[in-house]
Chains A and B, each alone.
Chain A
Amino acid sequence: MSFSHAARPRPGLLLGGLLSVVLAGALMAPGDAHAEYGDVVINNYSDAAGMRPVIFPHWFHRLRFRCKVCHADLGFQFKAGGNEINMVKIIDGQFCGACHNGDIAWSVENCNLCHSAKPGTPTQVHESTIQKLAIQPQAGGQK
């Protein structure tokens, strides 16, 4: 998990951050990705299972539910990829399955609505400060 190793303060980090900003600027063609701030890509198991990674749009959900519903009541940790979510748990009514059950929101047979990212997209909080500052996880890495 790049987040955890990036979160450990170490010397030269700011320099590294600056460097990576410059690098990212040099390597990333403008127009790379312009998804919404807070869109979470979850690719814990998807790529390996031959599914597209999941994109969770925070903006869409916060229009309808307050943070507390998922992050306190349903137990989602504040960490992209930090919740061991799988389809068995979802069908069992945990995590996304607490609402995506055909009752509160559409149910799990709509695979492609969640599993909608470009294959190989690494786990990330899109547009997050840390994504902009810290050294980027390589696409197709061990995410």
Chain B
Amino acid sequence: MITQHFSTLVAGLLVAAAIPGQALAQNDTGKAVYDKVCVACHSAGIAGAPKFGDAKDWAARIKAGMDTLYESAIKGKAPAMPAKGGATDVSDADIKAAVDYMVAAAKNGGSSAAAPAPAAAPAAAAPEAAPKPRPAALSFNRLLKPASKRNPPPPEDGIHDPDNDGSYALQPPLSVFEGLPRSNAGNRINWVKALDSNQIAPRWDRTDPTAAPVVMDLNIVREVKGSMPDVVYPHKQHTAWLDCSNCHPQIFIPQKGANQISMAAILLGQKCGVCHGKVAFPVSECRICHSKKKDVMPVKNANAQ
């Protein structure tokens, strides 16, 4: 509420001061894009990204000129900046607005709640980006976890007690996740890839660091209904982490056709859902399991013949 009142007030003041409403709207768009996309790296300054609000990080870049900055943002820049920060669906003008927002913040040393966009911004904006202030309630994917809230350190994660001194001694996830292969769900780490590439070396035995699993390389194909690709279950990736007895025979009877598996059961934490959806990658990653395309059947028109 307070913010709303405040922004109304600010808007009123700005209009009263005869600053074009466009500038504010641009800045709103810029902030929205920043909060959704750029924040993932620029909030903490990950992988050499100039940190949000850090005048020192930004000074040289601002000196190079806004056009250069826009180009780096839109086309990407080695070594780590992907084109449009990876969000290729965002329009050029919106990306520019985000750059303006970040530059304004850097110039203000981080306190940029209502920093007006540089005068050049509205002029540079392409006409397709008709500035449209978006109410917060209409923000895209409002129930999803924003990038800025991923992998927080324990005292800030909402379940650890910030009043507990022990919470501050615990390892922050990002201190180890940096550099590991990423994924789009769960811890946002591709654990299988991390293990395969020897980037992590979890012990197979509690005390013996040299013990190694007996990996069984056997794929089980499960044909599924409808047009969904068939499931390929790889023993290989599972036996690298687990013992046979973890799954057999309690969860899966080791016999072809003996196991009824449905997505409903998995969603409720049974069958594959004993791990997938709790600790292994969740069911949102359909195609990791449903990975075998069905042979295209020639369409026979039984009625005609």
Which residues of A line the B interface, CB within 8 A? Answer: 3, 6-7, 9, 13-14, 17, 25, 30-39, 41, 52, 55, 57-60, 62-69, 71-74, 78, 98-99, 104, 110-119, 121, 125-130, 133-134
| Closest partner residue, chain A, to B176 (CB atom) | A63
With A36-B173, A64-B202, A66-B242 known as contacts, the answer to whether A118 contacts B160 (CB < 8 A) is: yes
With A68-B241, A113-B170 known as contacts, the answer to whether A55 contacts B275 (CB < 8 A) is: no
What does DSSP make chain B's interface, helix, strand, loop or mixed? loop
| Closest partner residue, chain B, to A121 (CB atom) | B159
Asked if A119 and B161 make an inter-chain contact with CB atoms under 8 angstroms apart, the answer reads yes
A116 proximity list for chain B (CB < 8 A): 154, 160-161, 164, 166-167, 170
B2 to chain A, nearest CB (A): 15
Q: Does chain A have a CB within 8 A of B283?
A: yes
Tell me the bound Cα distance from A83 to B171 in angstroms.
25
Asked if B159 and A126 make an inter-chain contact with CB atoms under 8 angstroms apart, the answer reads yes
A14 proximity list for chain B (CB < 8 A): 264
A52 proximity list for chain B (CB < 8 A): 161, 164
Asked if B279 and A112 make an inter-chain contact with CB atoms under 8 angstroms apart, the answer reads no
A65 proximity list for chain B (CB < 8 A): 202-203, 206
B23 to chain A, nearest CB (A): 28
Q: Which residues of chain B from 114 to 172 have a CB within 8 Å of any chain A CB?
A: 142-143, 145-146, 149-152, 154, 156-161, 164-167, 169-171
Asked if A39 and B246 make an inter-chain contact with CB atoms under 8 angstroms apart, the answer reads no
